Amino acid sequence: MDEEARVNGTLIWYYNVCKREAWLMSHSITPDESDSNVEIGRFIHEKSYKREMKEVSTGNMKIDIFRKEHGQIVIGELKKSSKFKNIAIWQLKYYMYELEKEGVKATGELLFPEEKRKESVSLTDEDRINLNNQIREIIKLIYQSEPPEPIKIAFCKNCAYAEFCWA
């Protein structure tokens, strides 16, 4: 398999949250699916923006919203809160970058239905360089035979791997 094809939007997200979590996800060590945060996320995903939502899955991308507006393709990501907005932006920029490589120029939008907020996201040259670096670093990370040691961060208390890391 092409090494870059092993990188996907979920890994970009976890790489920016916690490298250990990205390693665990990439090695198919799945977190507790009954974790309430996972459930809430799924509920919002299913119930919000139902009319405009058109989820698209291709290869290493799973885009929540994909639509055409005034001749322009708009892709969107639904998030339950803006708490990790900066990370959500990287995930969306990654999708925009991957689409661009396939010849599809898209603008991005982040949607926070619980907060009734929407934010536009664009892709710069600096972002493209940064994303290339992230992809390279993720490939290096997933080829490590052991996960990085856990480091306590704010995200740990809501992480489905918390028991695995800290019990």
Binding site for ligand SF4 (CB under 6 A): 18, 20-21, 150-151, 153, 155-156, 159, 161-162, 165
Judged by beta carbon, residue 24 or residue 96, the one nearer ligand SF4 is 24
Produce one character per residue of 119-149: b if its CB has 16 or more CB atoms within 10 Å, e if not. Answer: bebebeeebeeebeebbeebeebbeeeebee
d(CA 163, CA 161) in angstroms, rounded, equals 6
d(CA 120, CA 111) in angstroms, rounded, equals 9
Judged by beta carbon, residue 38 or residue 74, the one nearer ligand SF4 is 38
Judged by beta carbon, residue 16 or residue 98, the one nearer ligand SF4 is 16
Q: How far is the CB of 151 from ligand SF4 (least distance, A)?
A: 6
Q: How far is the CB of 72 from ligand SF4 (least distance, A)?
A: 36
Judged by beta carbon, residue 74 or residue 162, the one nearer ligand SF4 is 162
Q: How far is the CB of 13 from ligand SF4 (least distance, A)?
A: 12
Judged by beta carbon, residue 21 or residue 98, the one nearer ligand SF4 is 21
Widest CA span of the chain, in angstroms?
A: 52
Cβ neighbours around 72 below 10 Å, total: 10
Residue 62 backbone dihedrals phi, psi, to 5 degrees: -135, 95
Cβ neighbours around 60 below 10 Å, total: 18
Q: How far is the CB of 128 from ligand SF4 (least distance, A)?
A: 27
Q: How far is the CB of 9 from ligand SF4 (least distance, A)?
A: 18
